Amino acid sequence: MIKQKGILFDSTLCAGCGECYNACKKQNKLPDTNTDYLRDRLSSETYTVVEDYSGVYTRKMCMHCQHPTCVSVCPVGAFEKTALGPVLYDADKCLGCRYCMQACPHHIPRYEWTSNNPRVKKCIMCYDKISKGEGTACSEVCPTGATLFGDRDELLKEAKKRIAENPGSYYPEIFGDDEVGGSNVMILASEPFEKLGFAKNLPKEPLPQYTARALDKIPAVVGVGGAFLTGMFWLTKRKNQIAKEKKSGKE
């Protein structure tokens, strides 16, 4: 049986050095987008960022959800959840409809706004490397061990152990353990995750069935009204958020 891989990012160990940011750029042959990496934002040319919250550093990247909404809403099957864990996409199939951007609960996929043939881009958990038994580029360079790559179940055990052994150092939850059904990227931090810019109040259940119904506009409201409304709520909220960011010039 294939063991799912994952990444554990422990914000309490992160020095904010930006080595992961640089390694990701190099691995994916992405251009330099900012002279100050701490001010860069996720974009079609930046798949991970390091953010500074008053001296507490955190990373943002695709969470590689266990039940990804990007997969379920894409009308042409450009996204795929692999057995190894990463969520991949086929840029050649992408229509540029941006349903995935609207549906992603973690606000991850980015659009090539300036391209004549715009497509959506995001982290692919270094799939080529990990398929060969290597680690991700970002975990291999991390000098403090804040970004760890390994088997998802082992990383989850490690995260629980850290919280149990040092309860004073950690907020007592693992972001990505069960948010929207869990993800292959998991986060530890010393404070509530929303204070570090992560989505708050995410349901513990997977979202794909909700968004798929909402997108298809299937009036299967009888008996599943709550699910339908949850899907509509997510899509509307994401649509407004994207419109606001586009207006403010942020990708």
Smallest gap from Cβ 30 to ligand SF4, in A, equals: 9
Cβ proximity of 50 and 59 under 8 Å: yes
Pick the closer one to ligand SF4 by CB: 52 or 216.
52
Task: For residue 6, report the phi and psi dihedrals to the nearest 5 degrees.
Answer: -165, 180
Q: Which amino acid is at 191?
A: E
Smallest gap from Cβ 11 to ligand SF4, in A, equals: 8
Residue-wise over 143-167: b if at least 16 C-beta within 10 A, else e? eeebbbbeebeebbeebeebeeeee
Dist CA 168 CA 245 (whole Å):
36
Cβ neighbours of residue 114 closer than 8 Å, sequence gap 6 or more: none
Pick the closer one to ligand SF4 by CB: 121 or 228.
121
Dist CA 84 CA 196 (whole Å):
28
Pick the closer one to ligand SF4 by CB: 200 or 225.
200
Pick the closer one to ligand SF4 by CB: 31 or 219.
31
Q: What token pair was written down for 239?
A: 């649509």
Q: What residues line the site for ligand SF4 (CB under 6 A)?
A: 14-20, 23-24, 27-28, 47-48, 50, 57, 59, 61-65, 68-70, 87, 104, 106, 108-109, 122-126, 136-138, 141-142, 144, 146-147
Smallest gap from Cβ 164 to ligand SF4, in A, equals: 23
Dist CA 71 CA 80 (whole Å):
6
Length in residues, the chain: 251
Pick the closer one to ligand SF4 by CB: 18 or 150.
18
Tell me 32's DSSP state. P
Name the nearest CA neighbour of 125 among 4, 246, 43: 4
CA distances for 38 relative to 26, 35, 57, 67, 151, angstroms: 17, 9, 9, 30, 29
Pick the closer one to ligand SF4 by CB: 3 or 225.
3
